[in-house]
Amino acid sequence: MRSPRPVPKFLRPGDPVAFPDPRSFDREGLVAIGGDLHEERLLAAYRAGIFPWYAEGYLPMWWSPDPRGMLDAQSLHVSRSLRRVLTRGRFELTWNRCFGRVMHECGSNRPDGSWIIPEMVEAYAGLHRRGQAHSLEVWNGSELVGGTYGVQVGAFFAAESMFHRRTDMSKVALVALVRSLFAAGIELLDVQFATPHLQTLGAFETPREEYLRRLGVVRSRPVDLRSLVPAATAR
């Protein structure tokens, strides 16, 4: 008889920073409920292949789905029309210029609501101040027209969300993120779910077991992204 899958672990605010092994859980991957968004807990989650995802008014929920969405420089797909946008270069890219604003934009104007709630913005801003969360911005003059952000642990980067205020600018942000990160030494780029939209840009699925194995290899390798200069074209 197969042993039952464990139920999600219940965490109280201030509990020791520890998570159960995601390998023990079902493919949906809900491994824990509760706790808090303290910076050390967030970093422990990412080191374990887990991320928080929940709506305002709910307890924090901690996930490690199977399979996992990934992107890398080799799989990245740039369509002919997007290549023309990149070649024209009618935009400016910056790195870490306005992290909080990018998070706010990623959570705005979503018809189905957003998981990027105020407590999430505050928590990730703390990681940003520590140099472990980063944003990439796309500008048209003084107007912020696209961007993305994520969390870094060693040579691992978890891309959390992206937005656009002009056509194709979230795609420009993602292409620039992928190319810039791998050029800087990042070895594993997680997008959580390979949605149909992300698949058009080359996202693919990796079994959770393989994802966790690779994460364990790269999370302790030092990579300094503080002075990264983003580029949307291949270097």
* pLDDT(235) > 90: no
Q: What is the per-residue pLDDT across 79-112, written as a single tens digit (0 to 9) for each?
A: 999 999 999 989 999 999 999 999 999 998 665 6
* pLDDT(76) > 70: yes
> Could you give the residue ranges of the DSSP H alpha helices within 55-188?
80-88, 99-107, 118-129, 169-184
Q: How far is CA 36 from the centre of its chain?
A: 19
* pLDDT(3) > 70: no
Model pLDDT, residue 41:
97
Average pLDDT of the segment spanning 28-54: 97
Model pLDDT, residue 93:
98
Q: What is the per-residue pLDDT across 191-228, written as a single tens digit (0 to 9) for each?
A: 999 999 999 999 999 999 999 999 999 999 999 999 99
Residues 6+ apart with CB under 8 A from 225: 95, 131, 134, 152, 181, 184, 186
Model pLDDT, residue 1:
44
> Could you state, in order of their start, the residue ranges of all structural domains in the chain?
9-66, 69-218
Model pLDDT, residue 114:
77
Identify the CATH class of 9-66.
Answer: alpha beta
DSSP symbol at 65: -
| pLDDT-derived band at 2, boundaries 50, 70, 90 | low
DSSP symbol at 22: G
Report residue 125 as tokens. 């801003």
Report residue 12 as tokens. 């109280």
Which fold is adopted by the domain 69-218?
Aminopeptidase (3.40.630)
| pLDDT-derived band at 56, boundaries 50, 70, 90 | confident
| Sign of the alpha-carbon dihedral angle for 95, 96, 99, 101 | negative
From the number of C-beta atoms within 10 Å of its C-beta (0-12, 13-18, 19+), residue 160 rates as buried
Residue that wins the pLDDT comparison between 62 and 1: 62
Task: Respond yes or no on whether the N-terminal peptide bond of residue 67 is cis (omega within 30° of 0).
Answer: yes
